[in-house]
Structures are given as structure tokens and as C-alpha cells.
Chains A and B, each alone.
Chain A
Amino acid sequence: MLSPAFLSQLRKLLPDHCVLHAREDLVPFESDGLSAYRNTPDVVALPENESQVAAILRLCHANQVAVVARGAGTGLAAGALPVDGAVLLVLSKLNQIRHIDPLARTATVQPGVRNLAISEAAAVHGLYYAPDPSSQIACSIGGNVAENSGGVHCLKYGLTVHNILKLRAWTIDGQLLEIGNDTLDSPGYDLLALMTGSEGMLAVITEVTVKLLPRPQRAQVVLAAFDDVAKAGAAVGNIIAAGVIPAGLEMMDRLAIQAAEAFVHAGYPLDCEALLLCEVDGVNEEVSDDIFTVHEVLAASGAIEIHTAESEEQRLRFWAGRKAAFPAVGRLAPDYYCMDGTIPRAQLPHVLRRISEMSLEFGLAVANVFHAGDGNLHPLILFDANQPGELHQAEAFGSKILELCVEAGGTITGEHGVGLEKINQMCAQFATPELTRFHEVKAAFDPDKLLNPGKAVPELHRCAEWGAMHIHGGQLPHPELPRF
């Protein structure tokens, strides 16, 4: 609980309408995009300018009150879940596009600006911002930096970390950090990389300068159906080995295909085990050459059907099915739980086989949607939260999937972040020395652990407790840790 004295000081820093403390005003902020995790915040602060952000941080630091930063609240890992006794610092009112420089190809924006709004504002110059998380219509750039968001196009155009130049950020004691600059590198350590994906644990971002790219002249998509997921997986590697880096390369399994087709009638073949969507973009001539190559490779890889979109309308329809895959799967069951592991692509057949075996063990169906180009797998576990124990089963199943990804040489999160959701799986991914260094990186910025406490990096005792429950192959993880 925050003290009345603290709250009254907080209210002095902001106009009345920028501090929410009535129960009914706080409810909308009790979860982010992962609604299975909820906690009503003690107070919500909605600053309208940078100096208010700095003042709030200084006040919290002086009173040793924790701060959880939040953007649009579309995150899928409970990274913006309110923490008891903390201020929820919502940056959505900082929503101005400060400046677009078409010749230098940059946009300088406040953190609450929506991802898609940047591309919309840059369109008049023939430019766009490349990272396109599926929530791009709603998610904000500050959150994108905090999570190092990816998207369908990141195999070719990179993640957030590859597409930003400069940040203004504030430490918990209210000092301004100007990280990066208007050129392509900076003296000293790469703090821009360290800040990107740091989940609000190091500093609070108040301005981002992003790179803009020229809009490709043309984009073209090929759809291919396979009677075997292993063949579809191999086709992905074959396309890349042929020297083509597709702008997007997506795979769906049978259940996902059928759900998507029933929902949006994208024109997908239904009698197949896997579907690939391969989009190439670029200069007109290059797209024609690449489409030819992709078509040949898909045929040689055993595709049972191949369709090149013959019009822009058909291209968008092919994509509509993929983009609607999550809500489409959502029609199959009252609830679904989206996982986010990354694996080396060669491991795909093995991983999918294990997931389907586990699906039987847990008694919960799974649809698989896969950013195949970069190995980022999104299994969607279907369940019914109203059935006692099913949410717990779904979470247990999800944990097993993430541990499977680590065993296969991959990672527990490709683009959604750790947040609170995957904090236990961090113990599977990293050993004690690495986790210790993560805590030390945090301490270099925020020694009092006031920014987003309890998220992203587990305390070592937590790994000890978790490890006691997960003895794998007779080996106790983190054997050096004391156990109580």
C-alpha cells in the first residue's frame, strides 16, 4: 500500500486527471495483453510530458517506491503487470510524433506513439518503419523498444534493435540518458542494445528516434501446401539456401489452417498438414526473379499445391488468413494460451512431434503458427478457463513447450519477452553465473531494484525452488544454490 503522504506528493506533480486512484479507474490497468495475470494497481500516473516523468521517478526514488512502466498494454508476457505498492507509470499520453526527416530517413517520436502511426506518418515520403508486430495497430513504440519487438518481416528487416538510432531515457533517480545519436554508432558501450528488450527494468524511455526505410516497390506472395510438416520445414531451409531472404515466411499447421479458413475464407487448401506463405519484396525485377526461384524450390521440396497471388487483393486475402489465425483459433475454444519459443529450424519436425504428444498427455489441443523464417514458434494451447484446473494445465503444458525449445537449442521467448509469465523458464535457459550478471546489469542502472521489480530475471532462490520441482535426467538444475 502506498502511503497517503506519498500519494498527495504524487498528485502535486500532475494535473488531477493524470492520477487515477479510484477503484473503477484502476481496473482497466490490472493486466496487459496476457489477461490470465491480473493485479489492480495502487495508483496509475499518466504524465503528459517528459518533465513530469522525471519528477515522478525522482519522487519514487526518494520514497523508495517501485515503478512499473506501461505503454499501450498489448504485451503478452505480463511485463506490465502492476506490482503491489508500486506506481503504474502509463506513457500513453506521450503520443506526439516530434519530427520526421525524410532525407535522413528518421522519425523522432514519443514512446506512446503507435507502431503503425509511424509508418502512416512516413508514407507521404515513400518511407515506413519496418518492424511490424501483429499488434502494430495498437502497440506503442516505447513498448516495442522495451520488448525488442519483431514481427512478420524481421528475418529480412530485423527486430526493433536493428531499427532504432537514439533514445531519451530516465534513470530511476531522474537522470537523463541520451543513448545513441543521429549517426550509425556511438562511443562507448552499446547501451542502445542493452536498453532494447530490457522490459522496463533499466530506465524509462521518453523519446525514440527510429530508422525509416523506402517502401518496397512491390510485394508478392506464394502459398504452398504440404502433406507433411517436415517437408514444409525443409522447404523453408531450401528457399534460404537458394539465396532468397523472404520478407515474410510463415507456416501454419492443420488445426490453424482449418480455423483460419473457416473464419476468413482466405482460399487455403484444407486437405494438407502444413501451409507456407512466402512473401518476397523489393525492386520490381528482383521480386519477379525471386518468385520464380521460390516457386521452383517449393515444387522440388514436395509441395502438393502452389499458388502465387495473382492480384494485390488475393495477396491480402492470403495474408488475412494468417493474420487472423489467433482470433480464428480463439473460436475453437473459450480460451487460448499463446507461447513464444524459438528453435533452430532443423528441429521443427522433432519439436512439433513432441508438442503433439504432449497435447495428448495434457488433454489440450494445440494449433501451431510459426514465423518459419526465423524459427519463432507460436503454439496456441486451447483450453476453457471456466473448467476447474484447465488454466493450470495450459500453463503447465506451456512451460513444457518452452523447456522443449531450450532443449532443442532454442530460447523461451523469441519476441514477447519474459515478463512475469516466463520467469521460471529463465531458470531453464540460463545458469546461475549468467543470471547473476543480469542482476548486476540491472544494478548498474537501478541498484535499489525499483524499476519493474520481480520481472524478466528471476531471483536465484526462485530458480532453486523451481529447480527442485524440475529434475531433468537425474541432474538437479542450479545444484550450487541453497535449498530450503
Chain B
Amino acid sequence: MLDTFIDRIRAAHAEGSPLILQGGGSKTFYGNADEGEVLSTRALTGIVDYQPKELVLTARAGTPLAEIEAALAERNQMLAFEPPHFGGAATLGGSIATGLSGPRRPYAGAARDFVLGVRMIDGTGQPLRFGGQVIKNVAGYDVSRLMAGALGTLGLITEVSLKVLPKPAAETTLQFELDETAAIENMNRWAGQPLPLSATSWHAGLLTVRLSGAESAVHAAQARLGGEWLHDAAAFWQRLRDQATPFFDKRPLWRLAVKPTTPPLNLGSAEWIEWGGAVRWLASDLPAATLRDAAKTAGGHAALFRGTAPVDGAFAPLAPALLTLHRNLKQRFDPKGILNRGRLHPEF
């Protein structure tokens, strides 16, 4: 099975013909438009190994997230980075290649934080294996984490080993009517206190906070914070994770990642705040340069998340010294530039 993929990439490398790597196709909107023939991982499925007591799961790249999450749920465990499904067909490989994480990210860690090892095929068709199935491993450069968020431009991920975590015993969600300034301040203040926070959101005057942990701890925190108990909270967080509310239908949709304490950006359009203040979603027609400057001033970066990307690309331009390193790494892993050409950066 793997040989088919190796042969295909070797042939593409020999011909210099570009390939579009794809899993479930749930995140094709993300990044710049790429070109080439689709190479799908959908046939590369299955959980290879799952050791609940070791907190480690290994699965092939095309395995649907839903299948992995169901297997974990049977043993009362979860993917703590809460990866988005965006419509249901998301695969493990696509989740790691995009590096996207959901509402739990600021409190539990990102997709890259849970990657223990990968098997991959680079742009020359060479199968490679980095990292492993143990939680602590500092032998060699951390190429497996480098693959997270590289959007397939350094290689086709064929298998991933992840650290998994127990599901919290209890979860509850509270809502507070608060203006944006106060909401941002509370998100940050509470994150600096021993409270079992696991997700935060603010939109249209409503701060929503999820607490996760031992039942007693969640109850104690609830008593301390007050607020209104949100019925049907699981659906609320799932809709936010998958951007399945009308707010996220607007185009262009920008993602401004900023220092979490950044006060309201006041850019003149409706906002949805997540990740303890570190992410501000904006449906804005302002010029890309304006949004990027605002994000950069706030210690972060702006990306066009959904909609037509600006000519210089969906993601914030890289400083010259960093761009050189990107070029060098791309050249080493995919010398002919055949993998997801242009997806991460218009140049490669």
C-alpha cells in the first residue's frame, strides 16, 4: 500500500509534476490555492496501535478523526487539542498537516504539542520515520513537529503517533454578559489563577467559559465564577470548533492571532474572540495590509482563513531571514517543489 504512494511521488519527482496531497478534503479552503493532481490518503486508513495506559495512539494518515475519537472515547480518552472536523470528513493526516486545533488549545496544547512521531514520504519519494511512540524523546531534530502545520509542503504524512489524554470527569459551561474589554481581561485574569479552564469564547456581548476536570473542582470553580449555566454546551463548543455558525459563513474571514491581553482591535467589524483572547476572528473587507499591521502591532500575525487570498498569500509574509530558512528546508525535503506547491507560501 505504502509502495503505491512512494512510487507515485517518485514519478512526480522525476517528472517535476506537482501533487496536491489530500485527506478528507475538509480543509481545502485553508492556505493558498495549490496546483497539480490530487494524491488522496483516503485509502491509507486504520489505527495501527492504541495503548491507553501509555497514552499513545498511532494511526495511518487517512484515518477519519471521527474513527479515532470513537476509539479513544471507548477508553474514556480524547485528542486534547480538539481538532476541527469542518464538516465531518477530516482525517488525522490533514489535522496534523494543517496543525489546526480547537477551543481547548490554549489550556491543553496545540496539535503539534501532541505529535510524538511521524512516518512520511518526502518530495523525492523517500520514506522517513521521525520521533517515535514515547513521550520523551530528544534524539535528533524534532522533524515530526516540523511536519505539523507545514501543510504537506515538506512531505506526505503517512502515519502519526500522538499523545492522548483522559477525558475530564466533568465539564460545565458558564456564560457572562460582558463587553469586549472586560471579557478579554477576565479571560486573562482567570487563566492566571488555579481554575480548571478548558475553553473561552466571546461574541456579541457574551463571554462563554468551559470548565473541565474533577467534578468537585468544576463545581467549586462554578461557585466562584458565577455566571449563567449553558444548557447544551457540547453543541456550542462543537459548532465553534467546526465554525458551523452563521458568523463564520462571511467572507473574507480573517484570523488575527495576537497577544492574548490585546485590547479590542476596533477594526470596525463584528468579531469572535477565542483562545483566551489570543485569536480574533474578523469578517472584514479592510485591506490585508491594514489587518496584518494591526496583528503584528499586537504581537502576532493575520491570516486569511476563508475567502480569496491576497496576492502575497493567505499567511503573513515572513521576515527575510526566516524566508531563507523556509526556502532551504523546502529545497532539502522537496527539491523539485512538487508537494502542495504554493499552499503555504506563494513562492514554494
Supposing A162-B113, A416-B138, A430-B140 touch, asked if A183 and B260 sit within 8 A by C-beta, the answer is: yes
Q: How far is the CB of B18 from chain A (nearest CB, A)?
A: 19
> When the two chains form their complex, are residues B140 and A414 in contact, meaning their CB atoms are under 8 A apart?
no
Which B5-62 residues have C-beta < 8 A from chain A?
Answer: 51-56
Contact of A190 (CB < 8 Å), options: B75, B99, B126, B345: B99
Tell me the bound Cα distance from A188 to B328 in angstroms: 13
Chain B 330-348, CB-CB to A under 8 Å as 1, else 0, gives 0111000000000011000
> When the two chains form their complex, are residues A343 and B134 in contact, meaning their CB atoms are under 8 A apart?
yes
> When the two chains form their complex, are residues B315 and A188 in contact, meaning their CB atoms are under 8 A apart?
yes
User: Which residue of A has the minimal Cβ distance to B216?
Assistant: A285
Which B274-312 residues have C-beta < 8 A from chain A?
Answer: 275, 278-279, 298-301, 303
CB of A33 within 8 A of chain B?
no
> When the two chains form their complex, are residues B217 and A409 in contact, meaning their CB atoms are under 8 A apart?
no
CB of B112 within 8 A of chain A?
yes
Chain A 85-104, CB-CB to B under 8 Å as 1, else 0, gives 00000000000000001111
> When the two chains form their complex, are residues B146 and A183 in contact, meaning their CB atoms are under 8 A apart?
no
Which B126-155 residues have C-beta < 8 A from chain A?
Answer: 126-130, 132-143, 145-146, 148-150, 154
Q: How far is the CB of B156 from chain A (nearest CB, A)?
A: 15
| Residues of the A chain whose Cβ atoms lie less than 8 Å from the Cβ of B326 | 188-189
Chain B 176-209, CB-CB to A under 8 Å as 1, else 0, gives 0000000001001101111110000000000000
Tell me the bound Cα distance from A244 to B76 in angstroms: 11
Tell me the bound Cα distance from A121 to B255 in angstroms: 34
Number of B residues with CB within 8 Å of any CB on chain A: 88
User: Which residue of A has the minimal Cβ distance to B189?
Assistant: A103
CB of B87 within 8 A of chain A?
no
Q: Which of A8-16, A54-62, A209-217, A466-474 binds B? A: A209-217
> When the two chains form their complex, are residues A345 and B53 in contact, meaning their CB atoms are under 8 A apart?
yes
CB of A5 within 8 A of chain B?
no
> When the two chains form their complex, are residues B136 and A159 in contact, meaning their CB atoms are under 8 A apart?
yes
CB of B251 within 8 A of chain A?
no
> When the two chains form their complex, are residues B54 and A237 in contact, meaning their CB atoms are under 8 A apart?
yes
Supposing A158-B109, A185-B99 touch, asked if A441 and B136 sit within 8 A by C-beta, the answer is: no
Contact of B54 (CB < 8 Å), options: A286, A290, A346: A346
User: Which residue of A has the minimal Cβ distance to B55?
Assistant: A240
Bin the interface of chain A by size: 35 or more
> When the two chains form their complex, are residues A286 and B141 in contact, meaning their CB atoms are under 8 A apart?
no
Supposing A177-B322, A194-B142 touch, asked if A413 and B137 sit within 8 A by C-beta, the answer is: yes
> When the two chains form their complex, are residues B191 and A411 in contact, meaning their CB atoms are under 8 A apart?
no
CB of A150 within 8 A of chain B?
yes
Q: How far is the CB of A186 from chain B (nearest CB, A)?
A: 7
| Residues of the B chain whose Cβ atoms lie less than 8 Å from the Cβ of A375 | 54, 134-136
User: Which residue of A has the minimal Cβ distance to B168?
Assistant: A243
Supposing A241-B53, A433-B128 touch, asked if A183 and B135 sit within 8 A by C-beta, the answer is: no
Contact of B192 (CB < 8 Å), options: A103, A237, A344, A430: A103
CB of A453 within 8 A of chain B?
no
> When the two chains form their complex, are residues B169 and A243 in contact, meaning their CB atoms are under 8 A apart?
yes
Tell me the bound Cα distance from A345 to B55 in angstroms: 10
| Residues of the B chain whose Cβ atoms lie less than 8 Å from the Cβ of A409 | 132-134
> When the two chains form their complex, are residues B148 and A190 in contact, meaning their CB atoms are under 8 A apart?
yes
CB of A182 within 8 A of chain B?
yes
Which A425-484 residues have C-beta < 8 A from chain B?
Answer: 426, 429-431, 433-434, 437-438, 440-445, 456-457
> When the two chains form their complex, are residues B194 and A282 in contact, meaning their CB atoms are under 8 A apart?
yes
Q: How far is the CB of B44 from chain A (nearest CB, A)?
A: 20
Q: How far is the CB of A422 from chain B (nearest CB, A)?
A: 8
Tell me the bound Cα distance from A127 to B110 in angstroms: 21
| Residues of the B chain whose Cβ atoms lie less than 8 Å from the Cβ of A196 | 142
Which A354-384 residues have C-beta < 8 A from chain B?
Answer: 371, 374-376
| Residues of the A chain whose Cβ atoms lie less than 8 Å from the Cβ of B133 | 344, 409
| Residues of the A chain whose Cβ atoms lie less than 8 Å from the Cβ of B303 | 187
Q: Could you list 12 further interchain pairs (A-B, Cβ under 8 angstroms) beyond the known A371-B136, A410-B134?
A: A101-B261, A103-B189, A150-B136, A183-B258, A187-B315, A194-B142, A214-B194, A283-B196, A286-B214, A288-B216, A344-B133, A434-B128
On A, residues with C-beta under 8 Å from B are 101-105, 125-127, 147-148, 150, 154-155, 158-159, 161-162, 171, 175-179, 181-191, 193-194, 196-198, 202, 214-217, 237-238, 240-241, 243-245, 282-286, 288-290, 342-346, 371, 374-376, 409-418, 422, 426, 429-431, 433-434, 437-438, 440-445, 456-457
26 A–B contacts from the bound complex (CB under 8 Å):
A102-B192, A104-B260, A181-B300, A183-B257, A185-B110, A187-B315, A189-B154, A189-B325, A189-B326, A190-B145, A190-B149, A191-B322, A194-B146, A202-B141, A241-B53, A288-B216, A289-B216, A344-B51, A414-B138, A415-B138, A433-B128, A434-B128, A437-B122, A437-B128, A441-B141, A444-B328
List 4 tightest A-B contacts by C-beta distance, closest first.
Answer: A182-B299, A237-B53, A285-B216, A444-B328
